[in-house]
Structure 1
Amino acid sequence: MVATSEQIYQQSITGLKASDRVAVLLMGYGEVESYEDFANYNEQALNLLTAKFAPVPTWFYPPIAKLLAIFDLHEWQHQHDHFISPHNHIFEHQRESIEQQLQEKWGDRVQVFKAFNFCKPFLPHEVLTEIKAQGFEKILIYPLLVVDSIFTSGIAVEQVNKSLEQLTEGTEHWVKGLRYIPSFYNEPKYLDLMAKLVEDKITEELGNKYLPSQIGIILMNHGCPHEAKGFTSGIDESQMLYELVRERLIHRYPLISVGWLNHQTPLIKWTQPNAELAAKNLLELGAKSLIFMPIGFATENHETLLDVEHIIHHLQHKHSDVTYVQMPCVNDHPEFCKMVAQWADSHIADLLSAEALTVNPSLARVKLNAEHHHDHAHNGHHHH
């Protein structure tokens, strides 16, 4: 009888102690692939995202989610001919590639899982249940979709925390080690790659038709609300990401602007200029061609695809003599997947070598009760 690769794999990992293994949890938004899921997706997104910066009462979520679903349906199905987002598919390619890179170095001690903030069957709770079932005790949380935003990454942590709370039983927590990679907005290798992709594209498609000063470059970031109930909304990181990529290009190509991909919600002040305004500004400065490059998103999604298509479509009406180039996200570019794996290396090493955490959740409850009791006992004395 020939052992299947699955059996061999099981045999090889049964020899490893749980403390010698790390589960890397890659986190992205996930994106709807069937139209029935729109309302559910929107409700999750409203709960996690919008609630942080818009004064919306929770009872309002289900009806508003259904209403938004009608708009989504119109946009994706009618305006864009049954568009199905490639996001989840690309994210899986990223996961495979990163796992392969990491296993070349760490072998079976490291496994990469993906979780989507808003999409079943990969919601963080479902994936962490699986990680626990497979006997992992050490986790590296790694948000991957949005490069710049501590806000979006914070949502990943929020969901992980909720899930871990639901998965806790007994006096000792099953998680013995935890690390987190918040963002890679200032990683030189990523910044170099962004600049190089733009330069290569210009050489390929525009360099022999336009002077460098006639080529407008819009570096697109994930839009951020200015007010997010005191949450840091990622504006600083995004701004810095833009400045650092711009610095690598500006001497050769003088016309560069940030373009924020905002969710234009009423009552909320969003980062400016949005990508369309950025394009108009560059045209006014004499650009004869425009390149739209997403730097704030690592994975293609409806914002980088449909929203940018809409913008180009609007601009073409008024400025038909301009050349427009829409560039893809970095996606599963081999060089990108390699660097993502490398950024995880030191954290994996830390997790493998660190003393196991021992956390007893029941102690927190005991301590709280004791302090509470203590305060009441002494209440009378504070006034003397």
Structure 2
Amino acid sequence: MRKVGVLLLNMGGPDSLEAVQPFLYNLFSDHDIIAIPRLIQKPVAWIISHVRAKKTMTYYRYMGGKSPQKEQTLEQAQKLQEVLGDGFLVKVGMRYWHPFIEEALQEMESYPLSGLILLPMYPQYSRTTTGSSFNEFDRVFPKSQMSFLPVVKIQHYYDHPLYIQAMVENIKENLPNWQDYFFLFSAHSLPISVIKKGDPYQFQTERTVQLIMQHFPGVNYALAYQSKVGPVKWLQPETEKVLEDVIKRGVKKVAVIPVSFVNEHSETLYELDYQYGNMARSLGVEDYVRIPTLRTHPTFVRCLADLVLSHALQHQLIGN
């Protein structure tokens, strides 16, 4: 019996302190993220990764010596596999650390497949995330033994009803008295130059927040951006600045909601929990709540399954 292959695509993270520098090297070698002239990209990436490694290790020491993203993405794959059943084969391919996309494809080669569906763990599309993973897939797939198979790429699901429902349920489950809080949505930032070239990430992120807030009438909220790197102009406003401003204006209860992340990693566990949480408490906030990422929330898993099944049917990878 042939199966439909499903490849969950994610960024990946270092699985040890020793992996921090090579992980950063892979990240900064990616032309989709940093458009350095290709001739010098790898030497520059080597320099940046060595300069930043020591500081970045501080984050991962606080997190227990590694990123939890690999384990959490594998858990998502397992839950999705359980929902989809035997007609599908779900694997994980990471962009910057093991298991790499190429390694995942090699693992899938031993199964009889009728096609492949690429499912990014990024609800909102950006060329720096989903686009980069697709480009890497396109580089390595022709070398695989499955290069004859049809491939379906799921571009985004920022406004999928089940994704919005999962976000709403997750907030209410972790914040029963949500009416008392200011909602601060935090998304990973991007350089303005990327947006000006037509990247839809900002619009899609704003739309996600609008759809979520339809379920929370009367709640004051803001969308801000975190994790800026380098001197160029990035999306505004910055999460840290908005948090500081609302507390100084007298807000006593803040719920910080990661909106572009579906797994925990340094941006949530270190930046949001440790850095911004400590800052908020030092400014006198009474209650600082960080809503956890969706991970294996049942409604989110249903969303992923619906995406896979609808695309498999649409592209005739399975029968009606």
TM-score strictly above 0.5: yes
Match 2:59 to one of 66, 75, 85: 75
In structure 1, give the amino acid aligned to 2:223.
V
CA offsets 1:31-57 (integer angstroms, 9 cap, x no match): 111111111111111122664456794
CA offsets 1:153-188 (integer angstroms, 9 cap, x no match): 1111101000013337xxxx7333111111110112
Look up the match of 1:167: 144
How far has the Cα of 1:247 moved from its partner?
2.9
Match 1:220 to one of 183, 186, 189: 186
Match 1:328 to one of 271, 292, 297: 292
**In the alignment, structure 1 residue 234 sits paired with structure 2 residue 201:** yes
**In the alignment, structure 1 residue 60 sits paired with structure 2 residue 27:** no
Distance 2:51 2:213 in 1: 39
Distance 2:297 2:37 in 1: 40
Distance 2:147 2:277 in 1: 50
Distance 1:256 1:325 in 2: 14
Distance 1:128 1:175 in 2: 13
Distance 2:74 2:56 in 1: 24
Change (3 A) 1:335 1:51: closer
Look up the match of 2:166: 193
SS in 1 for 2:80: helix
In structure 2, give the amino acid aligned to 1:218.
L
Distance 1:36 1:348 in 2: 40
Query: Where does 1:82-97 land on structure 2 (aligned, <5 Å)?
Result: 82-97=64-79
Distance 1:134 1:267 in 2: 47
How far has the Cα of 1:331 moved from its partner?
0.5
Look up the match of 1:291: 255
Change (3 A) 1:37 1:233: farther
Tell me which moved more, 131-140 or 341-350: 131-140
How far has the Cα of 1:349 moved from its partner?
2.2
How far has the Cα of 1:62 moved from its partner?
0.8
Distance 1:24 1:305 in 2: 28
**In the alignment, structure 1 residue 138 sits paired with structure 2 residue 138:** no
In structure 2, give the amino acid aligned to 1:100.
E
How far has the Cα of 1:284 moved from its partner?
4.2
Change (3 A) 1:82 1:110: closer
SS in 2 for 1:328: coil
Is the Cα–Cα contact under 8 Å of residues 225 and 233 in structure 1 kept in the other structure?
A: no
Distance 1:116 1:36 in 2: 18
In structure 2, give the amino acid aligned to 1:71.
K
TM-score (norm 1): 0.75
Match 1:278 to one of 224, 239, 242: 242
TM-score (norm 2): 0.89
Change (3 A) 1:306 1:270: same
Which consecutive residues of structure 1, in runs of 5 or more, have no partner in the other structure?
A: 1-15, 356-384
Match 1:157 to one of 114, 127, 134: 134
SS in 1 for 2:109: helix
Distance 1:182 1:38 in 2: 29
Q: Percent identity?
A: 17
Change (3 A) 1:75 1:90: closer
Is the Cα–Cα contact under 8 Å of residues 225 and 236 in structure 2 kept in the other structure?
A: yes
Match 1:307 to one of 258, 266, 271: 271
Query: Where does 1:27-46 land on structure 2 (aligned, <5 Å)?
Result: 27-46=9-28
Change (3 A) 1:353 1:92: closer
Structure richer in helix, relative to its length: 1
Distance 2:318 2:231 in 1: 47
Distance 1:143 1:353 in 2: 19
Distance 2:215 2:36 in 1: 36
Match 2:123 to one of 147, 151, 158: 147
Tell me which moved more, 278-287 or 304-313: 278-287
Which consecutive residues of structure 2, in runs of 5 or more, have no partner in the other structure?
A: none
Please identify the structure whose Cα radius of gyration is greater: 1
Is the Cα–Cα contact under 8 Å of residues 216 and 290 in structure 1 kept in the other structure?
A: yes
Name the count of aligned residue pairs.
314
Distance 2:318 2:191 in 1: 38
Change (3 A) 1:181 1:353: closer
Change (3 A) 1:280 1:113: same
